[in-house]
């Protein structure tokens, strides 16, 4: 069996070879010629899996080592008889860390008070649930908005959009990118959305860039409809809007889910999916993030600092934002060569 693998997927080399012959290539540069003789692909979001890439190939199975899958043309894959999987929840706690630590920086800047803050979570799947846990740990009140879940489970425990618009001090997006169906998320935050806001909330997008309309967001920041924005996912990546980058409180290169812990989990899930598909049920993959020394950050109890300072010693999103604002033309490089952080 021949497997073509994105060369930026961490911890995979040396493990994937147990499945068969492997070829590694930059995910954004994979071509139809590259996949022609491959039986399986293990990719990230930078590889668009569609008819143009896959027609006439031997590919039987695709595993994307990511939560999102809007880079996969699922209709074409069904038509072509190609099975696929994503890795739901693999980096959910990493995104929770990113959002919570961004709130700590917003608090330091005097924009919110975490113990007197209502966070509206838009999309409460694997990631949104971890975000809820993380921000509640800071003392925040949470409003959960997820119409598909509310329809399936009942309205109890879920807020309406009207509730969010009226009460939330922070709005954070954790939806997939969908353009059709009962609840499309493409440009969910558009001009109309921003005009309905009453509390000048902070907006956080670490879901998919196209969930938020760039033009509307810039106008909202200009007019003061929102007090600040934290943007990790951007429209038109990697050619991001530099004017918007200059305006946001934090702007990072799509790395909210890039912890070593989350990446190890995604790699393991992808490899296990390939093994299952091809009947190699005896194979298991014990992929762990590298050992982490407690000496690498300060403990609040040891240093006599506030408990909320400790998470920022472990991971401070401000550093990633400064790097991107200084080198916006290196978005893809900063993302592809990101020094994976630890969650604990």
Catalytic positions, please?
208, 237, 254
- Provide CB contacts within 8 A for 46, sequence distance 6+: 6, 8, 26, 27, 28, 71
Sheet holding 118-122, edge to edge: 141-145, 118-122, 170-173, 202-205, 228-231, 250-251
- Which of 208, 240, 249 shows the shortest CA–CA distance to 328? 240
- Cβ atoms of 34 and 45 within 8 Å: the answer is no
**In the numeric block, which tokens belong to residue 42?**
């293990």
- Provide CB contacts within 8 A for 194, sequence distance 6+: 216, 217, 219, 220, 225, 226
Distance CA 49, CA 43 (A): 9
Cα dihedral 308, 311, 312, 314 sign: positive
- Which of 104, 99, 138, 101 shows the shortest CA–CA distance to 121? 99
- Cβ atoms of 106 and 118 within 8 Å: the answer is no
Reply yes or no: is the peptide bond before residue 23 cis, omega within 30 of 0: no
- Provide CB contacts within 8 A for 117, sequence distance 6+: 103, 139, 140, 141, 169, 170
- Cβ atoms of 94 and 305 within 8 Å: the answer is no
């Amino acid at each position: 069996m021949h497997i073509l693998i994105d060369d930026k997927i961490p911890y995979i080399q040396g493990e994937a070879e147990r499945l068969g012959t492997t070829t590694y290539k930059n995910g954004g540069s994979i071509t139809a010629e590259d996949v022609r003789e491959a039986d399986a692909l293990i990719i990230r979001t930078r590889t668009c899996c569609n008819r143009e890439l896959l027609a006439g190939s031997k590919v039987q199975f695709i595993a994307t080592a990511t939560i999102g899958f809007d880079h996969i043309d699922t209709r074409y894959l069904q038509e072509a008889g190609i099975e696929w999987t994503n890795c739901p929840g693999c980096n959910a706690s990493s995104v929770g860390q990113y959002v919570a630590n961004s709130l700590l920086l917003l608090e330091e800047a005097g924009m919110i008070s975490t113990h007197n803050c209502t966070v509206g979570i838009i999309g409460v799947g694997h990631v949104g649930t971890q975000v809820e846990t993380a921000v509640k740990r800071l003392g925040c009140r949470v409003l959960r908005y997820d119409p598909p879940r509310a329809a399936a489970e009942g309205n109890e425990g879920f807020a309406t959009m009207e509730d969010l618009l009226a009460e939330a001090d922070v709005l954070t997006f954790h939806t997939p990118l969908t353009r059709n169906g009962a609840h499309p998320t493409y440009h969910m935050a558009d001009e109309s959305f921003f005009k309905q806001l009453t509390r000048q909330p902070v907006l956080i997008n670490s879901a998919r860039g196209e969930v938020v309309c760039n033009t509307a967001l810039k106008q909202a920041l200009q007019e003061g409809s929102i007090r600040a924005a934290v943007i990790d996912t951007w429209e038109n990546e990697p050619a991001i809007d530099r004017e918007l980058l200059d305006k946001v409180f934090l702007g990072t290169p799509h790395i909210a889910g890039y912890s070593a812990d989350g990446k190890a989990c995604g790699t393991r899930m992808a490899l296990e999916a390939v093994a299952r598909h091809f009947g190699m049920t005896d194979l298991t993959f014990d992929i762990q993030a590298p050992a982490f020394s407690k000496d690498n950050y300060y403990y609040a109890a040891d240093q006599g600092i506030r408990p909320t300072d400790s998470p920022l010693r472990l991971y401070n999103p401000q550093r990633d934002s400064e790097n991107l604002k200084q080198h916006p033309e290196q978005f893809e490089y900063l993302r592809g060569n990101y020094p994976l952080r630890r969650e604990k």
